[in-house]
């Protein structure tokens, strides 16, 4: 029986002290960590050897984190790679921009390296968690292959980020139930998000945009959360 390959983490951070610190803690946690210091090196490195997750600093020389995040999400071959964004900017507007472009998580500097490791583990666990008993979910013309992480609408593939995929899967598994934003953060993101529940709103809006049939199917429950309507019986 062949050994399982190590989980690869790409860290894009131009501060050599922070980069070395993250590399040390990630390797200590059992990950295979690679650090690049220039934004222009990130995409070539990903295409040479695709990582399981990217830790991406917002302020990188050459190409900034937002540009890199946008490029990753626009490339079908690497679009599903989970992204954790690091930044010294703590304003909510900066966090929202990163989430809008497809970041799965956001950590503001200064941070504890142990927190970064915990967030990496949580995001990987949810991106690769075991499939439910029914590994193929359907909702009208929408189908979700949980094993292969493939979403199709009327036969055409829809590209979702790792977090968008997990949110859609969770909504489909709990269709008809009103789900609070706090519950979604806990069960889909896997931690208590101190930056507020706007994260959920951003991801729901992106799902509605990418899968038009969900625009009306995902109902906003005012001041509480969301509900995926049960399909109308035939």
The fold of 8-127 is: Rossmann fold (3.40.50)
Contact 136, 146 (CB under 8 A): yes
Three-state DSSP state, 116: helix
Contact 5, 122 (CB under 8 A): no
21 vs 31: CA distance, rounded Å: 14
- Per-residue pLDDT of 96-151, as tens digits, reads 777 777 888 888 888 899 999 999 998 888 766 544 555 788 998 999 988 778 89
Which CATH number is associated with domain 136-228? 1.10.10.10
Q: What is the DSSP letter of 160?
A: -
The enclosing H or E element of 31 equals: none
The domain locations on the chain are 8-127, 136-228
- Per-residue pLDDT of 153-211, as tens digits, reads 998 999 998 889 989 999 998 888 899 888 888 788 766 555 557 888 999 999 999 99
184 vs 193: CA distance, rounded Å: 11
């Amino acid at each position: 029986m062949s050994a399982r390959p190590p989980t690869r983490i790409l860290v894009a951070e131009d501060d050599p002290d922070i980069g070395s610190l993250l590399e040390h803690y990630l390797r200590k946690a059992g990950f295979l960590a690679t650090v690049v210091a220039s934004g222009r090196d990130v995409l070539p490195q990903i295409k040479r050897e695709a990582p399981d997750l990217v830790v991406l600093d917002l302020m990188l020389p050459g190409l900034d984190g937002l540009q890199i995040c946008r490029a990753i999400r626009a490339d079908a071959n690497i679009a599903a790679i989970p992204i954790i964004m690091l930044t010294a900017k703590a304003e909510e507007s900066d966090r929202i921009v990163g989430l809008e472009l497809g970041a799965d998580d956001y950590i503001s500097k200064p941070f504890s390296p142990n927190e970064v490791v915990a967030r990496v583990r949580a995001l990987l666990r949810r991106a690769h968690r075991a499939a439910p008993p029914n590994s193929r979910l359907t909702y009208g013309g929408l189908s979700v292959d949980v094993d292969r992480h493939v979403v199709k609408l009327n036969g055409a593939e829809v590209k979702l980020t790792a977090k968008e995929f997990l949110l859609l899967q969770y909504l489909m598994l709990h269709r008809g139930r009103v789900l609070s934003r706090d519950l979604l953060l806990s069960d889909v993101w896997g931690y208590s998000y101190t930056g507020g529940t706007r994260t959920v709103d951003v991801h729901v809006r992106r799902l509605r945009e990418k899968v038009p049939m969900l625009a009306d199917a995902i109902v906003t429950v005012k001041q509480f959360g969301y509900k995926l309507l049960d399909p109308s019986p035939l």
